[in-house]
């Protein structure tokens, strides 16, 4: 009972929307300060515990593909091994909003055969005067795509905590109800409660990875 | 007093310089130290007396012009005629960047004390070898040079300082020439100026034997033909592939493909100039202008990855797909032996793409050994633990090698975003700069050693052939066509 559920999340969006700032804000103090560490040893993801209900904590692994975005075939494999993601745009940058659908399409294509739960995040909401995307438009898009919407600001920490917590809670419910199943060879969800992995019956004839295409 | 050895009367350590990469290779000083050194050398009566380390360089320009004209019959042909000491603040030959310190005379930073050339070198080299220069160090260094009145004729001290200065200058040059040869390959004028300067130095009768030897060694390094220069260039390879009907995949052995892919990957990788690694230019909107070679590298990676996926998918027949997969995995394993980790990722990531990954029937027919090999290769290049296995492999491997560039780009992104450029005291965060230089140095180490693989045009033609390569969506559609989705 000591082990916890672990979810792997990704953060997607155009390169200037502030994904890294959002991650830094959320994991503040947990990122091994590069000032004090050897750059060659570190972590590949940020990691943080989130309490989704009293006494129930989930460990989040947050993947950051920072710097590698251009290596498309690499970043694509990150999608498949994530159970959820924040789809971030910048409310002061209309283009980044228009690209949300592209990101979603791309992610959906590449997570197959697994599923991924997304949440739409309108970032930099502290810059109200420069807003180029209204809350209504964003809410419409998110409900059309079956996502929740939240507006955040890493600068003043608005809703940063909430965005991750809400997404985590939703994923937790889906896992609990069996709508998301934990599978061998998939890094999206690792459970600390279910005795490790749910194996399918025809284990012997499976390809090297479980594939439900 | 004409011995104005210091062409840079002021130095400044400016972090922004680290990002303004274009500033130095083009800005060749009008007249470098060659002129002032020679001038000093030819002055009568200065022997053992002139303080070569001086802060003032505002000697009357006319006067020095005269002195130069009269007294330097041995003038090197590469040295321009006029000497204008007043322009000394424009000399930027030693806007030397070892990845940590830029000493520049162009930008004067009022908060920094004026330092002589020697002090600047001392600081630059001290920074490289001994850790962050402290305030105390700055103070000591400026005292060392400032403590000499111009008319004091103290031979011993003069001798010691002169040796120290010569030593430092030669050390900086040696380091620059050996570790950053790219600078000289891309800039002939800079190269000839440095050679010219060193030739002047060698003719200084006061020079100690080992100093002369050291200077001659640097010249030798500069003038010797780079063995890598005989190698075929990327442009030549690409040119030979243009308009040629490439032979199909089946016509090339796995070994040939692995070798030629490695040759190609390294040619693309080694072309990236180090300036492109500063300031995360590849993530900016102007990425194509700021980091064209990083962009070429990622494009090449994606092209090869698409080629591999297309080569598998284009086979309508399942056994042909299976053998294509098995052959590419064999190529990947040879690439691993060749230390081409970039290609290992090009291949394993292709197999991981949805279009290939979902081919359940095909994977069922792939041999156990191949699957085990895929697992092994994937573990090697996995991003898990921040590429800990790949880092371990890189640490233990002797060049030539093609590392995966994305790993370094992520490192740089982490460092750039997670660490401030200035400390709380408003000082340049040398710790950060050193981390950046550490990464760039590692990249360069792998860039510098080329493969001795003979170019086989028929194979590279195939690898560069994009005529049958499908884009992501076409690949996925084709994948659905050859193995339709089962109702779940």
pLDDT tens per residue, range A61-78: 887 777 787 888 888 778
Interface probe for A, chosen from B417, B421, B431, B474 (most Cβ of A below 10 Å), is B417
Half-sphere exposure of B157 (CA within 13 A, CB side): 13
Contact A35 B432 (CB under 8 A): yes
How many CB atoms sit inside 10 A of residue A43's CB?
18
- Complete DSSP assignment for B184-237: HHS-HHHHHHHHHHHHHHHT-TT--HHHHHHHHHHHHHHHSPPGGGGSPPHHHH
Size of interface A-B (CB pairs under 8 A): 132
Whole-number pLDDT of residue B378: 93
Fold (topology level) of B233-482: Son of Sevenless (SoS) protein; Chain S, domain 2 (1.10.840)
Contact B406 A208 (CB under 8 A): no
d(CA A18, CA B280) in angstroms, rounded, equals 14
Whole-number pLDDT of residue A45: 56
The fraction of chain B above a pLDDT of 70, given in percent, is 67
Mean of pLDDT values over B178-184: 82
Residues of A in contact with B363 (CB under 8 A): 207-208, 211
Does A55 score more than 60 pLDDT?
A: yes
Does B34 score more than 50 pLDDT?
A: no
Q: Binning pLDDT at 50, 70 and 90, where does residue B473 land?
A: confident
Does B343 score more than 90 pLDDT?
A: yes
**Closest Cβ–Cβ partner in A39, A65, A113 for B438:** A39
Residues of B in contact with A72 (CB under 8 A): 302, 305, 472
Whole-number pLDDT of residue A12: 87
Q: How many Å lie between the alpha carbon of A54 and the closest alpha carbon of chain B?
A: 31
pLDDT one-digit tens code per residue, A110-138: 887 788 999 999 998 888 899 999 999 99
Whole-number pLDDT of residue B1: 40
Cis upstream peptide for A76 (omega within 30°): no
B71 versus B242: the higher-pLDDT residue is B242
Task: List residues bridging with A148 in a β-sheet.
Answer: A119
Please tell me what DSSP assigns to residue B451.
Answer: P
Contact A110 B353 (CB under 8 A): yes
What backbone torsions phi and psi does residue A82 show, to the nearest 5 degrees? -120, 145
Chain A residue closest in CA terms to B295:
A70
Judged by a CB distance cut-off of 8 A, whether residue B411 touches chain A is: yes
Q: Which stretch of A37-46, A90-99, B235-244, B401-410 has the lowest confidence by average pLDDT?
A: A37-46
Mean of pLDDT values over B183-211: 90
Contact B411 A67 (CB under 8 A): yes
Q: Binning pLDDT at 50, 70 and 90, where does residue A43 land?
A: very low
Does A31 score more than 70 pLDDT?
A: no
Helices (H), B204-317: 209-223, 234-241, 254-270, 287-290, 292-313
Which residue from B298, B269, B275 is spatially nearest to B451, judged by alpha carbons?
B269
Does B189 score more than 80 pLDDT?
A: yes
Contact A42 B349 (CB under 8 A): no
**Closest Cβ–Cβ partner in B283, B358, B429 for A113:** B358
pLDDT one-digit tens code per residue, B293-304: 999 999 999 999
Mean of pLDDT values over A32-51: 54
Q: Which stretch of A53-67, B45-59, B189-203, B258-272 has the lowest confidence by average pLDDT?
A: B45-59
Whole-number pLDDT of residue B120: 47
Judged by a CB distance cut-off of 8 A, whether residue A78 touches chain B is: yes
Contact A78 B383 (CB under 8 A): yes
Q: In chain B, where are the structural domains located? A: 15-57+70-155, 158-224, 233-482
Task: Quote the mean pLDDT of chain B.
Answer: 75
- What residues of chain B, 291 to 310, have a C-beta less than 8 Å from chain A? 294-295, 298-299, 301-302, 305-306, 309
Contact A209 B417 (CB under 8 A): no
B58 versus B218: the higher-pLDDT residue is B218
- What residues of chain B, 310 to 329, have a C-beta less than 8 Å from chain A? none
Whole-number pLDDT of residue B232: 85
What the block records as the tokens of B350 is 């292709």
Q: Binning pLDDT at 50, 70 and 90, where does residue A21 land?
A: confident
**Closest Cβ–Cβ partner in B283, B305, B418 for A15:** B283
- Enter the pTM of the model: 0.67
Does B104 score more than 90 pLDDT?
A: no
Whole-number pLDDT of residue B23: 37
Mean of pLDDT values over B424-447: 90
Does B354 score more than 70 pLDDT?
A: yes
Whole-number pLDDT of residue A155: 79
Q: Which stretch of B111-115, B260-264, B268-272, B393-397 has the lowest confidence by average pLDDT?
A: B111-115
Does B460 score more than 90 pLDDT?
A: yes
d(CA A208, CA A2) in angstroms, rounded, equals 30
Does B153 score more than 70 pLDDT?
A: no
B290 versus B64: the higher-pLDDT residue is B290
Chain A residue closest in CA terms to B305:
A73
Judged by a CB distance cut-off of 8 A, whether residue A149 touches chain B is: no
CB A172 within 8 A of CB A57: no
What the block records as the tokens of B454 is 């003979």
Does B265 score more than 50 pLDDT?
A: yes
Judged by a CB distance cut-off of 8 A, whether residue A29 touches chain B is: no
Whole-number pLDDT of residue B228: 52
Whole-number pLDDT of residue A76: 79
Judged by a CB distance cut-off of 8 A, whether residue B168 touches chain A is: no
Contact A78 B285 (CB under 8 A): no
Please give the ipTM for the structure prediction: 0.70
Whole-number pLDDT of residue A35: 40
Contact A72 B302 (CB under 8 A): yes
Does A201 score more than 60 pLDDT?
A: no
Half-sphere exposure of B456 (CA within 13 A, CB side): 18
Task: Quote the mean pLDDT of chain A.
Answer: 78
CB B186 within 8 A of CB B25: yes
Burial class (CB in 10 A: 0-12, 13-18, 19+), B369: exposed
Does B33 score more than 90 pLDDT?
A: no
Using alpha carbons, list the distances in angstroms from residue B131 to A152, B19, B97, B433.
Answer: 41, 21, 16, 11
Contact A73 B353 (CB under 8 A): yes
Chain B residue closest in CA terms to A66:
B410
Judged by a CB distance cut-off of 8 A, whether residue B337 touches chain A is: no
Judged by a CB distance cut-off of 8 A, whether residue B345 touches chain A is: yes
d(CA A102, CA A100) in angstroms, rounded, equals 5
B448 versus A198: the higher-pLDDT residue is B448
Mean of pLDDT values over A144-164: 90
Residues of A in contact with B472 (CB under 8 A): 72, 109
Whole-number pLDDT of residue B156: 84
B475 versus A73: the higher-pLDDT residue is B475
């Amino acid at each position: 009972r000591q082990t916890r559920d672990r979810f792997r999340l990704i953060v997607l969006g155009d390169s200037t929307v502030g994904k890294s700032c959002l991650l830094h804000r959320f994991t503040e103090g947990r990122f091994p300060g590069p000032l004090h560490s050897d750059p060659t040893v570190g972590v590949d993801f940020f990691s943080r515990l989130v309490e989704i209900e009293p006494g129930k904590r989930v460990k989040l692994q947050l993947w950051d593909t920072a710097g590698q975005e251009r290596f498309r075939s690499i970043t694509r494999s990150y999608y498949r091994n994530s159970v959820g993601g924040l789809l971030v745009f910048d409310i002061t940058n209309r283009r980044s909003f228009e690209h949300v659908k592209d990101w979603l399409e791309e992610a959906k294509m590449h997570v197959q055969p697994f599923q991924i739960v997304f949440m739409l995040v309108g970032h930099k909401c502290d810059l109200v005067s420069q807003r180029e995307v209204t809350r209504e438009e964003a809410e419409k898009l998110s409900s059309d795509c079956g996502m929740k919407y939240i507006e955040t600001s890493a600068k003043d920490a608005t809703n940063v905590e909430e965005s991750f917590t809400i997404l985590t809670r939703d994923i937790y419910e889906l896992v609990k109800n069996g709508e998301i199943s934990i599978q061998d060879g998939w890094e999206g969800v690792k459970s600390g409660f279910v005795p490790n992995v749910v194996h399918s019956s025809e284990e012997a004839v499976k390809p090297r990875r479980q594939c439900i295409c | 007093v004409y011995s104005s050895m210091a062409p840079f009367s002021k130095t400044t350590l400016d972090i922004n310089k680290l990002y303004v990469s274009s500033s130095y290779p083009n800005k060749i000083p009008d007249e470098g130290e060659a002129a002032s050194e020679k001038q000093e050398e030819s002055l009568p009566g200065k022997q053992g007396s002139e303080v070569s380390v001086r802060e003032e360089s505002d000697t009357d320009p006319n006067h020095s012009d005269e002195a130069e004209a009269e007294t330097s019959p041995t003038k090197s042909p590469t040295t321009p005629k006029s000497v204008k000491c007043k322009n000394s603040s424009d000399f930027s030959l030693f806007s030397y960047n070892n990845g940590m310190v830029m000493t520049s005379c162009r930008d004067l930073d009022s908060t920094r004390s004026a330092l002589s050339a020697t002090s600047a070198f001392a600081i630059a080299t001290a920074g490289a070898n001994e850790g962050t220069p402290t305030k105390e160090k700055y103070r000591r260094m400026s005292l060392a040079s400032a403590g000499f009145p111009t008319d004091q004729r103290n031979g011993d001290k003069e001798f010691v300082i002169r040796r120290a200065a010569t030593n430092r200058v030669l050390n900086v040059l040696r380091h620059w020439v050996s570790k950053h040869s790219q600078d000289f390959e891309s800039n002939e004028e800079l190269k000839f100026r440095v050679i010219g300067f060193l030739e002047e130095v060698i003719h200084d009768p006061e020079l100690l034997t080992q100093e002369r030897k050291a200077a001659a060694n640097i010249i030798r390094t500069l003038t010797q033909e780079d063995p890598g220069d005989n190698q075929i260039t990327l442009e030549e390879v690409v040119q030979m592939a243009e308009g040629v009907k490439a032979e199909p995949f089946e016509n090339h052995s796995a070994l040939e493909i692995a070798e030629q892919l490695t040759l190609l990957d390294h040619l693309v990788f080694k072309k990236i100039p180090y300036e492109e690694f500063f300031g995360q230019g590849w993530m900016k909107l102007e990425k194509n202008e700021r980091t064209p070679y990083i962009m070429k590298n990622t494009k090449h990676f994606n092209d090869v990855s698409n080629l591999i996926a297309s080569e598998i998918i284009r086979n309508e027949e399942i056994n042909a797909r299976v053998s294509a997969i098995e052959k590419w995995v064999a190529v990947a394993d040879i690439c691993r032996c060749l230390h081409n980790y970039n290609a290992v990722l090009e291949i394993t990531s292709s197999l991981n793409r949805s279009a290939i990954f979902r081919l359940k029937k095909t994977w069922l027919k792939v041999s156990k050994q191949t699957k085990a090999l895929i697992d092994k290769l994937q573990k090697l290049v996995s991003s898990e633990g921040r590429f800990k296995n790949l880092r371990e492999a890189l640490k233990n491997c002797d060049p030539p090698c093609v590392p995966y560039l994305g790993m370094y780009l992520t490192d740089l992104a982490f460092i750039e975003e997670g660490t401030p450029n200035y400390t709380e005291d408003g000082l340049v965060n040398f710790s950060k700069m050193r981390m950046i230089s550490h990464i760039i140095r590692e990249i360069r180490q792998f860039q510098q050693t080329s493969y001795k693989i003979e170019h086989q045009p028929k194979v590279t033609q195939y690898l560069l052939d994009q005529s049958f390569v499908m884009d992501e969506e076409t690949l996925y559609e084709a994948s659905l066509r050859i193995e339709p989705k089962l109702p779940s």
